Amino acid sequence: MGTGLLILNADDWGRDSKTTNMILDCVVRGSVSSTSAMVFMEDSERAAALARQHRVDCGLHLNFTTPFDGSACPRPLMEHQERLARHLLRHRLAPVIYHPGLSRSFEYVVNAQLDEYERLWGERPDRLDGHHHMHLCANVIVGGLLPAGTRVRRNFSFQAGEKSALNRMYRGVIDNRLMRRHRMGDLLFSLVPLEPPARLDRIFALARQFETEVETHPVNADEYRFLQGDIFKRLGATQRVASMFPQTMARGA
């Protein structure tokens, strides 16, 4: 168990200008702690410049499933990603099955995104997660493709009864494997659904005792509206949103 902390992380920074701008509104408002940035996307270059200008804490949002649409994306990279997307999206269980024939494509696509992040930010990412949580797929985990020592997003946290015992056991195995090579938070939740109110009240209460990441997508109107005001009403005066991830605080100290 870590020190209590509430981290609101907005995914998809750089996906397109609308997404980036709505996340930035929330960062400036103080309702979002950090973001996860996509590379080789339509707004990646501008988003990186905005992150430097506004001192936004950005990790790398690894993308295996949404086509790269940045003008500078190499054609071979697009082709490798297309192969991975076909595999990962063909069935809901495909991500949990290791595909030896795609091992080189996974390695190529991960390394290309790491290199592009370094080009845009001037350093390797200290924190990684995945678009549609595909950084937790079997080929990435078994292949050890996430750089050792980095902070990696864990599986979603569930109470007993919310998922099957087999589902929770599988997630536990993956998280335990990640903990051998990476830093991880205590808990992970999605901001949505926003109703019933008791759900978020429980999550925010847990953040007083545990390091709790809440994943959000401000490009969605209901989440944006909540982050622009209702979250502060819900938290009250006794709790606040962290300004960045804790390892970033330590690295910058």
Q: Summarize pLDDT for 12-23 with one digit per residue, the tens.
A: 999 999 999 999
What confidence score (pLDDT) does residue 247 get?
A: 62
Least reliable range by pLDDT among 13-17, 114-118, 165-169 = 165-169
**Average pLDDT of the residues in 50-78:** 97
User: Which H/E stretch holds residue 10?
Assistant: strand 5-13
What confidence score (pLDDT) does residue 1 get?
A: 46
> Which one-letter DSSP state was computed for residue 122?
S
**Average pLDDT of the residues in 40-60:** 97
What confidence score (pLDDT) does residue 253 get?
A: 32
Burial class (CB in 10 A: 0-12, 13-18, 19+), 184: middle
**27/20 Cα distance (integer angstroms):** 10
35 contacts 11 by C-beta, under 8 angstroms: yes
**Average pLDDT of the residues in 126-131:** 98
**Average pLDDT of the residues in 52-67:** 97
- Residue 154 three-state SS: coil
**Average pLDDT of the residues in 114-119:** 98
Alpha-carbon dihedral 123, 126, 130, 134, rounded to 10 degrees: 110
> Residue 252: which pLDDT band, with cuts at 50, 70 and 90?
very low
Q: The pTM is what?
A: 0.94
Does domain 5-252 fall into CATH 3.20.20.370?
A: yes
**Average pLDDT of the residues in 129-146:** 97
Residues 181-228 have pLDDT tens digits of: 999 999 999 999 999 999 999 999 999 999 999 999 999 999 999 999
Query: What is the distance of C-alpha 114 from the center of its chain?
Result: 15
